Structure 1
């Protein structure tokens, strides 16, 4: 029975308020146990880095996620490896065989020009749902704020369903500096000109997650969430942790 007044959460098949976990090779049996209890808290599962290519029983894992209505896709590093070796066609055919319906187009490791990414998206969006990523995995690669805005909006206009802001699983690149501190000026500038409901902010740690929850609200889209942290994250979203205790109904507030 619900008796507390808590911030409301989007439910069912969400279009925003997403929790996107990162799966770095969770064994099937362990994953089954986790999803039995927590599947309703997970919307998307990224098979991190290139793990999908070498994971045993990959079809079984994809089916397990589908059975729990969780969208699974391969991390952008695998896309970039295929791009580097001119194997995009083979990659897409492989995804179709696996019944994976989502594709990430990124340039976190390779410097793939925006116009080339847009061209690729225009082709693959005919058969797949596309997620794009903006930002470099190189923590010393400083991208101007105007370029962040330009790329995010261009990718969304090209037909991407969501755009991810790079943060790495360590939270030390992209929207974070190499010490793990969030670039708050960048985030607040983005919120002025970008539809936050279409952006998935990579936030690998509770500290990062709480920043976005307090800044944008309970229904911010968060990615690179550790599979073991999904309940902790939902607790934070509902104002049931000290750092989000006074969370109210809101959709992005002024800088903290």
Structure 2
């Protein structure tokens, strides 16, 4: 029975209002239980950092996600490792062998020039749907606001479906200060200049999630969400938590 007036959420195959979880080692049994109850609340699943390369029963995990209409992809660190070792061709074959059709292009750990990332996206966009991450995992390498905007525009124009704002699992790098606070200069420039529905904000903590929800709305795209926090996040989106209580459409 639905009797409350709540913010309207996107449903089905979402183009925005996306929730992307980070899978850092869920077992098949754990994942099966989560998806049984919450798959309709999850859109993407990042098999985080480089764990996809050593995950037991990887094919089974990928199929489980796909059978529940959740899009799996591998964390950008694995892409960067392959790039660093000149193994991108092998990485592409690996993705095809696992029937994974989304790829993350990032430079969070190693410096990959923007033009090089643009060329990689242009070469791969006909084989994969592309997610491009902006920002460094090193808090000492903070991009200027101008660089954030330039990279976002360039990577989206090159063929990325979405751009992800780096935040790490800790929420202390990329778009965040080391204390976990959002870099407001970057946030304001992004929301003023880039199509907000094509940005996925990494937001691993409830405080960060609620910041973006209150600033942008129930259907902001959020990533690096812990699997166990999926229902809490949906409650936050629906104004069913004190901090988002007065959220409107």
Give TM-score, length-normalised by structure 2. Answer: 0.99
Deviations 1:178-213 (A, max 9, x none): 111111221011111000100000000000000000
State yes or no: 1:127 paired with 2:127: yes
Q: State the 1:15 CA deviation.
A: 0.2
Separation in 1, partners of 2:232, 2:184: 23
Alignment of 1:66-215 (within 5 A): 66-215=66-215
Maintained 8 Å contact 1:140/1:178: no
Secondary structure of 2:72's counterpart equals strand
Q: CA deviation at 1:142?
A: 1.9
Q: Please give the alpha-carbon distance, in whole angstroms, between the structure 1 residues aligned to 2:179 and 2:201.
A: 18
Following superposition, the deviation at residue 25 of structure 1 comes to 1.0
Aligned residues: 249
Q: Does 1:52 align with 2:52?
A: yes
Cα RMSD (Å): 0.5
Q: Which structure 1 residue ranges, 5 or more long, are not aligned?
A: 250-256
Greater alpha carbon shift after TM alignment, 110-119 vs 176-185: 176-185
SS at match of 2:230: helix
Partner-residue secondary structure (3-state), 2:155: helix
Question: 2:5 is matched with which residue?
Answer: 5
How many angstroms does 1:153 deviate by?
0.8
Q: Residue 207 of structure 1 aligns to a residue in which SS?
A: helix
Give the aligned partner of residue 252 of structure 1: none
Is residue 245 of structure 2 the alignment partner of residue 248 of structure 1?
Answer: no
User: Residue in 2 aligned with 1:232?
Assistant: 232
Question: 1:179 & 1:191 partners in 2: Cα distance?
Answer: 22
Q: Partner of 1:21 in structure 2? A: 21
Unaligned runs of 5+ in 2: none
What whole-Å deviation, never above 9, does each CA across 1:118-174 have from its counterpart, x for those lacking one?
Answer: 000011111100000000000121211011000001111111000000000000000
